[in-house]
Amino acid sequence: MAREIKTVGIAGTGLIGAGWAARLMFRGYDVIAYDVSPAAEAKLRAQIATAWPSLEALLGKPERQGKLTFTTDLKEMASKADFIHEAAPEREELKIRLFRDIDAIAAPDVVISSSSSGFLPTNLQSECKHPERVVIGHPFNPVYLLPLVELVPGEKTSTEAMDRAARYFEAIGMHVLRLKKEIMGYICDRLQEALWREALHILNKDIGTTGDIDDSIVYSAGMRWAFMGSFLTYHLAGGPGGMRDFIKQFDPTLELDWTDLKFPKWNETLERRLVEGCEEQAGGRSVAEIEAKRNAVLVDMMKLFQKHQIGAGLVLDRELKAREAK
Between CA 85 and CA 33 the distance in angstroms is 9
In the chain, where do the E strands start and end?
Answer: 7-11, 30-34, 68-71, 83-86, 111-114, 134-138, 148-153, 175-178
Between CA 62 and CA 85 the distance in angstroms is 22
Q: Summarize the chain as % helix, strand, coil (round to 5).
A: 55, 10, 35
pLDDT digits (tens, 9 = 90+) for 105-127: 999 999 999 999 999 999 999 99
* DSSP reduced 3-state for 165: helix
Q: What is the pTM of this model?
A: 0.92
pLDDT of residue 28: 98
CA distances from 235 to 243, 249, 309 (A): 4, 12, 20
Q: List the one residue out of 190, 186, 188, 108 whose CA is nearest residue 152.
A: 186
Between CA 24 and CA 119 the distance in angstroms is 24
Between CA 315 and CA 322 the distance in angstroms is 11
* DSSP reduced 3-state for 111: strand
The Cβ of residue 170 has, within 10 Å, a number of other Cβ atoms equal to 17
pLDDT of residue 90: 96
Q: Which domains does the chain have, with CATH numbers?
A: 7-178 (3.40.50.720), 188-325 (1.10.1040.10)
pLDDT under 50 in the chain at which residues?
none
Q: Counting Cβ atoms within 10 Å, is residue 226 exposed (0-12), middle (13-18) or buried (19+)?
A: middle
pLDDT of residue 7: 98
> Cα–Cα–Cα angle for 225, 163, 228, nearest 5°?
10
